[in-house]
Amino acid sequence: MTQIRRAVPNVQVEPGEQAADANRAFYGTLGFEEVMNLGWVTTLASPSHPAAQLTFLTHDATAPVVPDVSVELGSVQDVDTAYETLRASGAEIVHPLSDEDWGVHRFFVRDPQGRVVNVLAHREQGAAPS
């Protein structure tokens, strides 16, 4: 059975530190704190419930579109299984199965309403890409 670790809405934003500062300040008043910032993608999370997150992207570093939502599965194998199942079902794969430099194994797929879903798992520290 596939384990879902978290589902995170992705919000496309304009580039620039001013937008990032405004998001940190606004969502900070609601209790969110910055937990990741790669320049083009920033994630804010609840300190008391770390899986409660919002991600802001100016673009995607390797994919053709910004996904609408990210679903983190429990393992790289879960991602591979989901990829094969969705591909076999005829779902549109928007970004191929990839091992990204920032430590995730992922692909993008379009859902029945046309939204792009980033399906991912974090690779283990020190593990070779699969």
Predicted TM-score (pTM) of the model is: 0.87
Q: Is the pLDDT of residue 127 over 50?
A: no
Contact 123, 76 (CB under 8 A): yes
State the CATH number of the domain containing residue 98: 3.10.180.10
Q: Is residue 35 part of a domain?
A: yes
E-assigned strands of 46-103? 53-57, 69-73, 93-99
Q: Is residue 128 part of a domain?
A: no
Measured distance CA(5)–CA(28) in Å, rounded: 23
Amino acid occupying residue 98: S
Measured torsion, CA atoms of residues 60, 66, 68, 73, in degrees rounded to the nearest 10: -30
pLDDT bracket for residue 118 (50, 70, 90): very high
Following DSSP, what letter does each residue of 76-96 receive, concatenated?
HHHHHHHHHHHHHHTPPEEEE
pLDDT bracket for residue 124 (50, 70, 90): confident
Q: Provide the mean pLDDT of the chain.
A: 92
Provide the domain count of the chain: 1
Q: Is residue 75 part of a domain?
A: yes
What is the residue range of 62's domain?
A: 4-122
Measured distance CA(86)–CA(90) in Å, rounded: 7
